[in-house]
Amino acid sequence: MPAVEVLGLARRYGSVTAVADVSLAAEAGQVTAVLGRNGAGKTTTVEICAGLRTADAGSVTVLGLHPGDPALRHRVGVMPQGGSGASGVYPSARVGEVLALHAALHSDPLPARALVERLGLTKAADTPWRRLSGGEQQRLSLALAIVGRPEVVFLDEPTAGLDVQGRHLTWELIRDLKVAGVAVVLTTHLLDEAEELADHVVIIDAGIVVAAGTPRDLTAGAGDELRFEAPAGLPLGDLTARLGSGATAAEPSPGRYVVTGSITPDMIATVTAWCAERDVMANRLTTGAGTLEAAFLALTEDPT
């Protein structure tokens, strides 16, 4: 049985549908990334799983129980979304105090000092929450979610507002949680984060799951591609005609070109020759299976 199982979840706020139909399963010892644009329904989905909101329709089980079940409280760690001043920490409480409080609620917590050190917060241990930087607040919030040694953690945008170093600290910790057998469910709108961390990616758009699978599954769908960057607005009809044999050239965003089809050395030569004729540099020319970004953009493109 998966650690977290969501089936046909729906949730509206007044006349706004936040989540229309979301199903997903998250396993122990795996990182499941819920990926989507802002407003796609990620936070609502995770908050329902974490027992912070109720669903209008569908079912959610966490470790076989209803998300609101008090028996889950010590088995599940939650990191709510930061920002908007509502991350759930007393503003005048110091880092060490908040962590000690949350640790004291559990019988077998992580050693606070080691956790603080691990997250690079040692120097901030006596600083009140409100005087921490945004990145420090995020890292403390993560520490609070895991200090009780949970079986399942829900992390809502765990790296939002972090600098590169903080982001890597967080990524490393998430990997270690996974190795330790924790089921990690995180939301992100960062493709590289999902690609980097996740065993399982669920792409949500407008409250609906548009794709799910391993990062490799999702990028395989994007097929063979040749990508390059060049000045925007090149006349692609001409290139497509020149390529022949079912290959097509497109410009999904200004200045970024994608040629799909079966990519051969000959075809690469055709593309570069076509660019040379126009006295245009083909930058960042790459071939191979698509990136998650390409898959993501293809899946969540606005129908225009």
Partner 1 sequence: MSTGSLDLSPAGHASPAGTQLRAQTAMELKLMLRNGEQLLLTIIIPTVLLLLFAGAPIADLPKPRIDFVVPGVLALAVMSTAFTGQAIGTGFERRYGVLRRLGTTPLPRALLLAAKTISVVCVEVLQVALLCVVGLVDGWSPHGNALAAVALLMLGTVAFSALGLLMAGTLRAEVTLAAANLVYLVLLVLGGIAFPLTDFSDGVRHVLELLPIAALSDGLRVVLRSGGSVPVHDWVTLLVWAATGGLAASRLFRWE
Q: Give the shortest CB-50-to-partner 1 separation in angstroms.
A: 6
Which of 204, 198, 214, 201 minimizes the C-alpha distance to 21?
Answer: 204
Between 93 and 268, name the residue whose CB sits nearer to partner 1. Answer: 93
Select from 114, 241, 279, 304 the one that contacts partner 1 (CB under 8 A).
Answer: 114
Is residue 134 near partner 1 by the rule CB under 8 A?
no
Of 113 and 284, the one with the shorter C-beta distance to partner 1 is: 113
Q: How many CA atoms lie within 13 A of 119 on its CB side?
A: 31
**Phi and psi dihedrals of 221, rounded to 5?**
-60, -25
User: How far apart (Å, rounded) are the C-alpha atoms in residues 243 and 20?
Assistant: 42
**Of these, 39, 58, 109, 223, which contacts partner 1 (CB under 8 A)?**
109
| Smallest separation (angstroms) from partner 1 to the CB of 122 | 12
Per rule CB under 8 A, is residue 144 in the interface with partner 1? yes
Q: Pattern of binders to partner 1 over 206-245, x per CB under 8 A? A: ----------------------------------------
Q: Could you give the CA distance from residue 210 to residue 187 in angstroms, rounded to a whole number?
A: 15
> Is 43:156 a contact under the CB 8 Å cutoff?
yes
- Rounded CA separation 90/66 (Å): 28
Q: Are 159 and 167 in contact (CB under 8 A)?
A: yes
> How many residues belong to the site for partner 1 (CB under 8 A)?
50
64 scored as a contact of partner 1 (CB under 8 A): no
Interface pattern 159-198 for partner 1 (x via CB under 8 A): -------------xx--xx-xxxx----------------
Is 167 or 227 the residue whose CB approaches partner 1 more closely? Answer: 167
Coil vs helix vs strand at 77: strand
**Contacting range for partner 1; rule: CB under 8 A; set: 38-46, 100-108, 190-198, 239-247:** 100-108
Decide if residue 250 touches partner 1 (CB under 8 A). no
Rounded to a whole number of angstroms, the CA Rg of the chain reads: 23
Shortest separation between residue 12's beta carbon and partner 1, angstroms: 18
Measure the CA–CA gap between 275 and 117, rounded to whole angstroms: 53
What is the nearest approach in angstroms of partner 1 to the Cβ of residue 48?
Answer: 13
Among 2, 22, 44, 102, binds partner 1 (CB under 8 A): 102
Q: Name the DSSP letter for residue 76.
A: E
Paired with 128 in beta bridges are: 94
Among 12, 37, 74, 242, binds partner 1 (CB under 8 A): 74
Q: Are 24 and 202 in contact (CB under 8 A)?
A: yes
Q: Closest Cα partner for 40 from 188, 212, 239?
A: 188
At closest approach, how far in Å is the CB of 213 from partner 1? 26
Q: Which residues make Cβ contacts (< 8 Å) with residue 168, sequence separation at least 6?
A: none
51 binds partner 1 (CB under 8 A): yes
Residue (of 282, 218, 277, 221) closest to 249 by Cα position:
282
User: Does residue 45 belong to the site contacting partner 1 (CB under 8 A)?
Assistant: no
The binding site for partner 1 (CB under 8 A) comprises: 50-52, 70, 73-78, 80, 85-93, 97, 100-102, 104-111, 114-115, 117-118, 144, 146, 148-151, 172-173, 176-177, 179-182
